């Protein structure tokens, strides 16, 4: 398992019961499906550590329901449909991970207006935030650095104008960013003021440049998905990388320099045509604890 996937799993997959409230066809593996009434009756005994809240039933009093959830101090991770925003009650204070999900009710999406969490709505112990807003709003669910002052991990789409990146810059404790739809934004220059150690990028427009990647001089884990232009790996040779994961990057150049990265422990090169000679691949496998090179 890659460093990135392992770290992400630690936030999202808790050891206790995982409860799902919503349509059964969306039920995640291993979770227990309950309706809101059953959940209220059983939650204190079950002591759930993760909750998926995807209920579209208009008969549910969401304000009262969220108030009940705010007192469930066993919860560590919550996946919340946008239908519940803006929150009438904050999640429990010990929540570590919040993932926002697309709207369930299309009418609510049609009436949605951009909003911000209130200044007094602060959840200091949230370290992980995910919102891939397939509804096309790119507003980070209204959060800001003052909402989650301790945030360490963010994953989201980036809007065309880069306003999302402007917000991300303000999360001073951020160490991991999983950014999709990066288009042609110079994410390296924008993020250079943060101590980014893990970075995953996808959704590139033609002309995206890696020339400034060296500005992220604390970077330890780099994941790239579907970069289809020439990528000179000499640009990353001086970074303190522990893991490089390249998927569908079909024009890699100078892949042999991976042997020169002294901190490197893990290399994954999948569906990238054949950037490595057999000799280089063999040398990597002899040198590193984990090498996964496939579909060349």
- The dihedral built from the CA positions of residue 134, 138, 141 and 144, taken in this order, carries a sign that is positive
pLDDT at 217: 97
pLDDT of residue 250: 94
Q: Calculate the alpha carbon distances from 49 to 20, 91, 102, 284 in Å.
A: 11, 13, 22, 40
Sign of CA dihedral 254, 281, 3, 250: positive
58, with CB counted inside 10 A (0-12, 13-18, 19+), is: exposed
Neighbours of 85 (CB within 10 A): 18
Contacts 24+ apart (CB under 8 A), 161-164: 162/190, 163/138, 164/138, 164/140
CA-nearest of 1, 20, 2, 11 to 130 is 11
**Contact assessment for residue 193 and residue 215, using Cβ atoms and an 8 Å cutoff:** no
What pLDDT is stored for residue 296 in this prediction? 54
* H or E element, residue 231: strand 231-232
Which residues in 236-272 are b (16+ Cβ under 10 Å) and which e?
bbebebbbbbbbebbebeebbbbbebeebbbbbbeeb
170 token code pair: 């303000």
Residue of 236 and 44 predicted with greater confidence: 236
All structural domains of the chain:
3-151 (3.40.50), 220-296 (no CATH)
**DSSP at 200:** E
Please name which of 172, 169, 121 lies closest in space to residue 142, comparing C-alpha atoms: 121
Most confidently modeled of 20-24, 140-144, 235-239?
Answer: 235-239
Q: Supply the DSSP symbol for 204.
A: B
User: Does 265 score more than 80 pLDDT?
Assistant: yes
pLDDT of 51:
93
pLDDT tens, residue by residue, 82-97: 888 888 788 888 899 9
- At 98-145, the pLDDT tens digits run 999 888 887 777 777 777 788 888 999 999 999 998 777 778 888 999
For the segment 43-78, what is each residue's pLDDT rounded down to a tens digit?
A: 999 999 999 988 766 677 888 888 999 999 999 999
């Amino acid at each position: 398992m890659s460093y990135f996937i392992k770290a992400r799993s630690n936030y999202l997959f808790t050891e206790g019961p995982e409860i799902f409230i919503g349509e059964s066809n969306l039920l995640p593996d291993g979770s227990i499906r309950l309706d809101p009434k059953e959940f209220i009756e059983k939650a204190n005994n079950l002591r759930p550590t993760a909750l998926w809240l995807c209920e579209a039933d208009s008969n549910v009093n969401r304000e009262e329901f969220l108030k009940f959830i705010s007192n469930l101090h066993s919860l560590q991770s919550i996946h919340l449909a946008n239908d519940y925003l803006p929150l009438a009650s904050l999640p429990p204070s010990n929540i570590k991970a919040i993932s926002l999900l697309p709207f369930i009710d299309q009418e609510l999406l049609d009436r949605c207006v951009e909003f911000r969490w209130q200044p007094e709505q602060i959840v200091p112990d949230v370290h992980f935030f995910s919102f891939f807003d397939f509804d096309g709003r790119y507003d980070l669910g209204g959060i800001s650095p003052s909402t989650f002052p301790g945030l360490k991990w963010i994953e989201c789409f980036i809007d065309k104008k880069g306003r999302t990146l402007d917000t991300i810059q303000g999360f001073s404790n951020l160490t991991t960013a999983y950014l999709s739809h990066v288009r042609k934004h110079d994410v390296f220059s924008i993020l250079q003021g943060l101590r980014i150690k893990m970075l995953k990028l996808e959704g590139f427009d033609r002309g995206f440049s890696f020339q400034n990647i060296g500005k992220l001089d604390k970077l330890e884990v780099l994941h790239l998905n579907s970069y289809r232009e020439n990528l000179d790996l000499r640009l990353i040779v001086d970074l303190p990388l522990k893991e490089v994961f390249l998927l569908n990057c079909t024009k890699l150049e100078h892949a042999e320099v991976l042997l020169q990265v002294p901190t490197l422990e893990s290399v994954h090169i999948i569906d990238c045509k054949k950037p490595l000679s057999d000799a280089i691949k063999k040398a990597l496998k002899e040198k590193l604890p984990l090498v996964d090179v496939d579909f060349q």
